[in-house]
Amino acid sequence: MSDIKKVVLAYSGGLDTSIILKWLQDTYNCEVVTFTADIGQGEEVEPARAKAKAMGVKEIYIEDLREEYARDYVYPMFRANTIYEGEYLLGTSIARPLIAKRLVEIAKQTDADAISHGATGKGNDQVRFELGAYALNPNIKVIAPWREWDLNSREKLMTYAEQHQIPVDFKKKGKKSPYSMDANLLHISYEGGILEDPWAEPEDDMWRWSVAPEAAPDKPTYLELGFTKGDITAIDGKAMSPAEVMTYLNKVAGDNGIGRDDIVENRFVGMKSRGCYETPAGTVLLKAHRAMESLTMDREVMHLKDELMPRYAKLIYNGFWWSPEREMMQKMIDASQETVNGVVRLKLYKGNVVVVGRKSDTDSLFDESIATFEDDAGAYDQSDAEGFIKLNALRLRIAGNKRHK
């Protein structure tokens, strides 16, 4: 342990990471550098500075990474229409590569010997943080306290905090959430408490970002989302940055009861886990993006993307954002988005996102003269279909003849 002189800690200022800070100081007799990222969690990050100072930290990094997160991580992922196991929009998974990158960069800037995080030994985040760190610095040392210490219960953590007079306000006024929560611009997740029983319905007051669909307004909300190369760049004609888009859509979609999900997923470490998620902006973004692609993207390109998407989603979920295969796939996905330009009109109503219009003045592949049910003036020769069908049926007819003999 003597070779560890300085550690960069991913620090939220909450109970767990404040205890980890003190534990690192005592266990490794080292200097701790704290890094706190604002990625849109909706809570003040500056209080972490005062808490870190009170615990003797001299080098404190607090950074607003909302735009970088939305632009370089969320948007590229949604160009692939990414969903894990058919439901999960990867709100936690996609935030980890950015945090891992900054941990490694700060370690280099401060001449630190190691990085540390507060992920438990049961979850996916330990894998995501560390795979990312090793990809960016193969020789980085990682300290994962949850895999080393014996503070394996909430009671032990509280006792440790009291014994060491750790300045953590864990006795807040009002009702304390019984859930383990993680939030960023893309989503907020809930685990633990009654959710550990997959039969138990979530409590109504658990949800933070959305109203219940039955309590949403009786009048629908209409939006027009402008796309440029697969990314939303404007809403109702107003240009917006990626973080501004996510913030706006979270509010308007949440107000309409959109974005709730209750999932049992397969963790990379092997266990099944039940979690609830609110992803209002992501739910809208996914629906709109697919609608824009349906108008502007070649059929075989779209189908190929759909075939590759589960593999891409799995890479992100399992922590392989910085892998060469993910980067290769991203280049192909980004190339497919060159023609995904135009406007999608949506209706948001009581938990539903309904596409009610789409147009592209430059890249639409929809030809009304061919698709019409009216007289197409010879644009499409319907007799051509006979030969097309017979050629595609040839192998089926040969096999059928064999069976019938």
Residues known to be catalytic:
16, 96, 125, 180
Contact 82, 91 (CB under 8 A): no
Nearest alpha-carbon partner for 129 in 110, 107, 149: 107
Query: What's phi and psi for 9, nearest 5 deg?
Result: -110, 130
In the numeric block, which tokens belong to residue 59? 């080098």
Question: What CA–CA distances, in Å, run from 2 to 31, 56, 399?
Answer: 12, 20, 73
Nearest alpha-carbon partner for 227 in 359, 356, 347, 354: 359
The 3-class SS string of the chain reads CCCCCEEEEECCCCHHHHHHHHHHHHHHCCEEEEEEEECCCCCCCCHHHHHHHHCCCCCEEEEECHHHHHHHHHHHHHCCCCCECCCECCCCHHHHHHHHHHHHHHHHHCCCCEEECCCCCCCCHHHHHHHHHHHHCCCCEEECHHHCCCCCCHHHHHHHHHHCCCCCCCCCCCCCCCCEEEECCCCEEEECHHHHCCCCCCCHHHCCCCCCHHHCCCCCEEEEEEEECCEEEEECCEECCHHHHHHHHHHHHHHCCCCEEEEEEECCCCCEEEEEEECHHHHHHHHHHHHHHHHHCCHHHHHHHHHHHHHHHHHHHHCCCCCHHHHHHHHHHHHHCCCCCEEEEEEEECCEEEEEEEECCCCCCCCHHHHCCCCCCCCCCCCHHHHHHHHHHHHHHHHHHHHHC
Contact 77, 44 (CB under 8 A): no
As a whole number of angstroms, the distance between CA 196 and CA 204 comes to 16
